[in-house]
Amino acid sequence: MHRFWQHLLEPLLEDLRPRRILEIGVDRGQTTSRLLRWAGENDAVVVAIDPAPSAPIESWQQQFGRRFEFFPKTSLEVLESLEAPELALIDGDHNWYTVYHELMGLARTARRQACPLPVICLHDLGWPYGRRDLYYNPSTVPAEHRQPHARAGVVPGRSQLVQHEFNASMNNACTEGGPRNGVRTAVEDFLDQQADSNLELRTIPVFNGFGLLYPRERVPLTGMLANLHRDFGSTILATGLLAAVEEDRARLYVEVDRARSEATARRSTSRRLIATLVGLLVLAAIGITVLLTRG
C-alpha cells in the first residue's frame, strides 16, 4: 500500500487528522514507517497487527514508544479487543473470510464504542486477489470457508492456476470468481449486510486495486476525501482508462516476473554445467597425473 502514500494516504491523513490509526498487515513496514513518522509529528498512535512481519519492530518500539502499539497475532485474534480507530488500513491476508470478518469486527467495535465506522483503506481489490482467495496460512481459515487451493501461479485473464507462474509459491484459490472468493467480494458482501446506507465505497484500479470505504459523516468539508466523494463520477478515476492501464501493467509485470525466473533458471543451469565441466577437468587432470607418475 506504500505506493499510494503521496497521492492518497498522506493527503487522507491531513484531511482526517486521526488520533488512532490501525494497520493490518505490516510485512516489510514500508507503509508503517511512514505512518509512524506522521504520527510522531501529529500526536497520533499507530496500532499495527501482523503475525510474522519482516520489519524492524523492536527498533520502532524503542524509537516511537507509546505512539506505536504492535500485536504479533492475526487480525481476527485481537481486532475487537482494541479501541476504535478513526482510520484503518487493511492489507493483510487476502481472502474473503479474513477481510469480511475484519470489516465486521471494525463495525461491531464502532457500534460497541458508539462511534462511526472508521475510514477504511483496502488493498488488492483488483487482480489478482480481488476475486481470488490467497491463504498465507490456510489453517487460520476454517475449512468450510477455504476455497480449493494449491501452490501454483496466477495469470491475468485466466481463472485456472498455472504452474511456475506469478506467485506460484502462494496458496492460491484454484479458480477465480464465484461466491466468497477474494477481497473485493468480501467488501461487497460486507456492504450488503449493513442495515444503513451511509457507507460509500470508492475504488481506484491501480497497483492491484485500492479501495476507500467510509461513512458519509466522516467526510471533511474540504480536502482529498471531500473531492473524491463529491466529484468521483466526473473524474478520470471513474472511467475505464485506469482499469485498462492496470490490466496492461499486471500483464507486463507477470511477463517480467516470468522472464526473471527463466533467466535465473538459465543461470543456475549454466553454473551447474560449468561446475560439472570443472569437475570433469579436475578428474581428467588427476587421471593424467596418475598415468604420468606411473609411467
CATH number for 35: 3.40.50.150
33 and 55 both lie in a single domain: yes
Of 42-46, 79-83, 204-208, 266-270, the range with the lowest mean pLDDT is 266-270
Structure confidence at residue 18 as a pLDDT band (50, 70, 90)? very high
> Is the CB of residue 20 less than 8 Å from the CB of residue 42?
no
146 and 11 both lie in a single domain: yes
Structure confidence at residue 233 as a pLDDT band (50, 70, 90)? low
The per-residue pLDDT for 240 is 65
User: Which of the two residues, 23 and 257, has the higher pLDDT score?
Assistant: 23
Peptide bond into 205 cis (omega under 30): no
pLDDT average, residue stretch 107-126: 95
161 and 211 both lie in a single domain: yes
The per-residue pLDDT for 122 is 98
Give the end-to-end CA distance of the chain in Å, rounded to a whole number. Answer: 72
268 and 153 both lie in a single domain: no
16 and 134 both lie in a single domain: yes
CA distances from 61 to 30, 69, 78, 87, 147 (A): 16, 8, 19, 21, 37
132 and 172 both lie in a single domain: yes
**Is the pLDDT assigned to residue 167 strictly greater than 80?**
yes
41 and 174 both lie in a single domain: yes
Tell me the pLDDT of the chain averaged across its residues.
89
Whole-prediction pTM: 0.84
pLDDT average, residue stretch 96-103: 98
User: Which of the two residues, 230 and 98, has the higher pLDDT score?
Assistant: 98
How many structural domains does the chain have?
A: 2
Q: List, for residues 26-72, the tens digit of each pLDDT value.
A: 999 999 999 999 999 999 999 999 999 999 999 999 999 999 999 99
91 and 204 both lie in a single domain: yes
Domain extent, residue 102, equals 2-233
27 and 90 both lie in a single domain: yes
Single out the residue in 233, 268, 285 at which a domain terminates: 233
